Amino acid sequence: MRKAIAVAHKEFRQIARDRRTLMILLFVPAFFLMLYGYALNWDIRHVRLAVEDQDHTPESRSIVSAFVNSGYFDLVASVDDTRIAALMNTNEVRAVLVVPSGFGRRLRTGARAPMQVLVNGDNANTATTVVGYALTILQSESAHYQRGPWAPLLSVQPRVWYNAELRSTLFLVPGLIAYIAMITAVVSTALSIVREKERGTMEQVRMAPLGAPAFVVGKTIPYFLISLASAIGIILVAMVLFGVPMRGSWWLLLLALSLFLVGALGLGLLISSVSDNQQVAFQLAMLASFLPTLMLSGFIFPISSMPAFLRAVTYAVPARYFLIALRAIVLKGAGAQAFWQDLVALAIFAVAVLVLASVRLRKEWA
Amino acid sequence: MRRVGFLVWKELIELRQDPRLFGIVILAPILQLFMLGYAATTDVRNVPVVVADADRSAASRDLIARFEASPNFTVIGIVTGANEIDPYLERGRAWMALSIPAGYGEELGAGRPETVQVVADGSDANSTNIGLGYATSLIAAYAQQLVAARGSGGGGGGIDARVRVWFNSRLESRDFMIPGVLALLLLMITTNLSAMGIVREKELGTLEQLNVTPLQRWELVLGKLLPYALVGMIDVFLVLGVALLWFQIPLRGSVWLLLALNLVFLLSTLGLGLFVSTISSTQQQAMMTTIFFFLTPMIYLSGFVFPIENMPRVIQWVTYLIPLRYFLVIVRSIFLKGVGLETLWPQALALMAWGAAILMLAIARSTKRIA
């Protein structure tokens, strides 16, 4: 252990000398959370809408105003048939309402009045939401004109827990926290061993009376402290600026965060120990941390929608467990009994990568 | 020009001597496209549902069977009491709970209206929203069938809304995401390569040796860029092949236009890497600068997953500075809409201008730095 601390001490002094790197590691993460937490959301508002009204009756106008008054749509153009394609191609509008002539007359006489909603589907996610908005508006408008007894026998009462207004910020910010913490941790260690290899200082370390595990632990300690500080920074920013609640226990949060960070740092060290030069390490780091955390952690893309083999892969992504724990602690106020499996998984991952990195180094030194 | 040729040759030899790097650069994009192609879907399917069935009647089982039969839901457990759903939602094992009250079957049988409750976990707001929509429409359709079965047919009139989705009629998010992943992979691989390219020589001290050769600055830059552009184009072909042959993404536009604009995009990513290389003194700095200040903003602010039109106005202006934004519009439009330069010229022009600007900046910087 004393040897590990000696390595940590040396590493600290090296970090302190490279001010730019230290500043990036400490402060950029919090800044990033501010930027992205502010910039990103899934809440779709201001859908640009064009209307082709061939009817020009009070009924057709009331449909259009129902769309505008819903707050989801902005009317940007009144068009005729020929311009629709051009507007959709350039993404100037996302949706077009086509009200055929005779629409108002049919409604007044109690006949079914057809009309068309064209939706730009290039972004399937946005399009699904837009279709949902449009159908809801039309359903409630339609109810004004319907005749006859139509009492639905069965109705639904939807209730949303943990995030009653369905604010996407509350969902995205924990994901961003995991992403930023992961990147900061991996980036800080991924080059640390391979750099010594490339510069030849590894030979000196090898000569020193120092075991591989002590070396690996010593390399981890300073970066752990730095990344813990910056991770706590981003969590505070999340709470102060974005109204992310804290419904659970701080100690549990600290535990989950520490396990996650040690795992991430260990992953960086493992990458560093298998790479021959920094270029390789960089590419590996992107492959092993950047992309999986973004794509396979359930941060953006729901894991349950993935095919089975890919769901199996996600079990090797630590951010997956951290996200479950983080959301459970912060949003749901759950206790450890709800997610202890995820904490155990994080711990296993951390130990596994650290051991692998030491084994790999020992083999290289032997 | 011959001198540039020599430098290109030297770079290619170096690349070949580093089989691991070569393997990563060639294999990684294919592997990633496979994974991401499957992962990058915002379609919500198999929403895990837990059912609290306090009724346990034939009618309640009929409703549960509807959920089980739907591809949108997976029923992961059936409990009796409404309080038993808490652990499922807390742990995130179920995203949604359907709660059927006691007496449900009896009420329905007597023709009295009945309400079931759907509780959703809002911590994933996006998927929850979509899942709630699925549940509501499933139950509404079921309710209509119940009414019809009782023979009290519905009234006439009302609006008959016909929704048509253009460009992607099945609403497959894959058709939208994979062209985006293609752009993203190119950006990552090539920027990384070139960002480390010059700073590595700086760090190892071999840049001094290049400096004493009669190479001009622009020749040095060109010689560094060409081999990486070559690697980038190989990646383009591989990734395109997987997208078209494996995922069968429809390519409605011109493949030549796509390749040509890919080249323009490569120019800007390589230029960006070189620029990073000139402002960094160690590879670690180069790596951090690339990841933090270029790649991350590009991923989040380019419209890759988060629609730009949802962002605050100020951020929307910032996105005009991001080359990936233009390239994404280009790739997606060529793939999904089949449009050509007559629609895409503003994006193509912006991309070219960006590439030229960053290259000039990199060359200017490198002259100052090295000389």
The residues, ordered by sequence, that sit 6+ positions from A236 with a Cβ below 8 Å of its Cβ are A30
Confidence band (pLDDT; 50, 70, 90) for A5? confident
- List pLDDT tens digits, range A186-207: 888 888 888 888 777 877 777 7
Domain that holds residue A188: 2-40+167-365
Dihedral (C-alpha) B59, B63, B69, B72: value to the nearest 10 degrees? 180
pTM of the model: 0.78
Contact B28 A88 (CB under 8 A): no
DSSP states along A66-91: HHHHTSSEEEEEE--HHHHHHHHHTT
Does residue A274 belong to any structural domain of this protein?
yes
Q: How far does B5 lie from chain A, in Å, by closest CA?
A: 23
Say if CB A243 and CB A31 are below 8 A apart.
no
Contact A112 B300 (CB under 8 A): no
Contact A112 B18 (CB under 8 A): no
Say if CB A346 and CB A318 are below 8 A apart.
yes
Backbone dihedral angles phi then psi of residue A58, each to the nearest 5 degrees: -55, -35
Is residue A65 domain-shared with residue A185, that is, in the same domain? no
A145, A175, A206 - which closes a domain: A145
- List pLDDT tens digits, range A313-342: 889 899 999 988 888 888 888 888 878 889
Two tokens, residue B128: 């929850």
**Residue B49 Ramachandran class (φ > 0 left, ψ -120 to 50 alpha, else beta):** beta
Is residue A70 domain-shared with residue A190, that is, in the same domain? no
Give the residue from A108, A125, A163 with the most B CB atoms within 10 Å of its CB, the best one to mutate.
Answer: A125
- List pLDDT tens digits, range A49-102: 999 888 888 888 888 888 888 888 888 888 877 788 888 777 788 888 888 888
Does residue A155 belong to any structural domain of this protein?
no
**For range A244-258, the mean pLDDT:** 89
**For range B275-287, the mean pLDDT:** 83
**For range B105-111, the mean pLDDT:** 82
Confidence band (pLDDT; 50, 70, 90) for B155? very low
Q: How many CB atoms are located within 10 Å of the residue A66 CB?
A: 15
pLDDT of residue B170: 61
Is residue A204 domain-shared with residue A349, that is, in the same domain? yes
Two tokens, residue B317: 């202006």
Two tokens, residue B143: 């309710």
Taking each helix axis from N to C terminus, what angle separates B341-370 and B217-241, rounded to the nearest 10 degrees? 140
Q: Cα–chain-centroid distance for residue A114?
A: 40
Q: How far does A258 lie from chain B, in Å, by closest CA?
A: 20
pLDDT of residue B171: 62
For residue B123, CA distances in Å to A32, A173, B136 come to 21, 10, 19
Two tokens, residue B233: 């184009």
For residue A77, CA distances in Å to A38, A95, A103, B162, B262 come to 30, 11, 20, 21, 34
Is residue A33 domain-shared with residue A60, that is, in the same domain? no
Distance CA B174, CA B183 (A): 14
Confidence band (pLDDT; 50, 70, 90) for A162? low
Is residue A58 domain-shared with residue A175, that is, in the same domain? no
Is residue A300 domain-shared with residue A208, that is, in the same domain? yes
pLDDT of residue A355: 92
Name the residue type at position A130.
Answer: V
Q: Is the pLDDT of residue A150 over 70?
A: no
Q: What is the mean pLDDT of chain A?
A: 83
Burial class (CB in 10 A: 0-12, 13-18, 19+), B58: exposed
Q: Is the pLDDT of residue B307 over 90?
A: no
Say if CB A72 and CB A45 are below 8 A apart.
yes
Of B24, B366, B4, B369, nearest in space to B190 by CA: B24
Of A181, A82, A41, A274, nearest in space to B21 by CA: A274
Does residue A153 belong to any structural domain of this protein?
no
Is residue A129 domain-shared with residue A29, that is, in the same domain? no
- CB pairs A-B closer than 8 Å: 362
- Which candidate from A124, A148, A154 shows the least CB-CB separation from B154? A148
Say if CB A174 and CB B189 are below 8 A apart.
no
Show the CA angle centred on residue B168, arms to residues B167 and B171, nearest 5°: 150
Give the residue from A167, A279, A313 with the most B CB atoms within 10 Å of its CB, the best one to mutate.
Answer: A279
Say if CB B102 and CB B55 are below 8 A apart.
yes
Does residue A161 belong to any structural domain of this protein?
no
Q: How many CB atoms are located within 10 Å of the residue B271 CB?
A: 26
**For range A263-283, the mean pLDDT:** 87
- List pLDDT tens digits, range B196-225: 777 877 777 777 777 777 777 777 778 878
Is residue A175 domain-shared with residue A241, that is, in the same domain? yes
Two tokens, residue B121: 């976990």
Strand order in A73-78's β-sheet? A73-78, A47-53, A95-99, A113-120, B159-166
Can you give the C-alpha Rg of chain A in angstroms?
28
CATH numbers and ranges of domains, chain B: 2-41+172-370 (no CATH), 47-149 (3.40.1710.10)
Which residues on adjacent β-strands are paired with residue B166?
A: A120
Contact A324 B92 (CB under 8 A): yes
DSSP run (H or E) holding B156: none
Name the residue type at position A204.
Answer: Q
**For range B7-22, the mean pLDDT:** 77
Confidence band (pLDDT; 50, 70, 90) for A258? very high
Q: How far does B355 lie from chain A, in Å, by closest CA?
A: 23
Contact B168 A122 (CB under 8 A): yes
Distance CA A244, CA A268 (A): 29
Does residue A34 belong to any structural domain of this protein?
yes
Say if CB A287 and CB A267 are below 8 A apart.
no
CATH number of the domain enclosing A65:
3.40.1710.10
Can you give the C-alpha Rg of chain B in angstroms?
28
Two tokens, residue A88: 């959709």
Q: Is the pLDDT of residue B271 over 50?
A: yes
Burial class (CB in 10 A: 0-12, 13-18, 19+), A212: buried
Contact A143 B307 (CB under 8 A): no
Contact A324 B91 (CB under 8 A): yes
Does residue A150 belong to any structural domain of this protein?
no
Is residue A189 domain-shared with residue A315, that is, in the same domain? yes
Contact B284 A307 (CB under 8 A): no
Does residue A162 belong to any structural domain of this protein?
no
Distance CA B14, CA B21 (A): 10
Q: How far does B291 lie from chain A, in Å, by closest CA?
A: 8
Which residues on adjacent β-strands are paired with residue B53?
A: B100
Is residue A25 domain-shared with residue A99, that is, in the same domain? no
Does residue A152 belong to any structural domain of this protein?
no
Give the residue from B31, B159, B332, B344 with the most A CB atoms within 10 Å of its CB, the best one to mutate.
Answer: B159
Contact A124 B28 (CB under 8 A): no
Is residue A241 domain-shared with residue A106, that is, in the same domain? no
Question: Structurally, how many domains does chain A consist of?
Answer: 2
Contact A159 B119 (CB under 8 A): yes
Which residue stretches of chain B are H helix? 2-17, 19-39, 58-69, 86-91, 104-109, 125-149, 173-204, 206-212, 217-241, 255-279, 283-288, 296-301, 313-319, 323-332, 341-370
- List pLDDT tens digits, range B31-46: 878 877 787 776 777 8
Is residue A274 domain-shared with residue A205, that is, in the same domain? yes
- Which candidate from A142, A161, A304 shows the least CB-CB separation from B120? A161
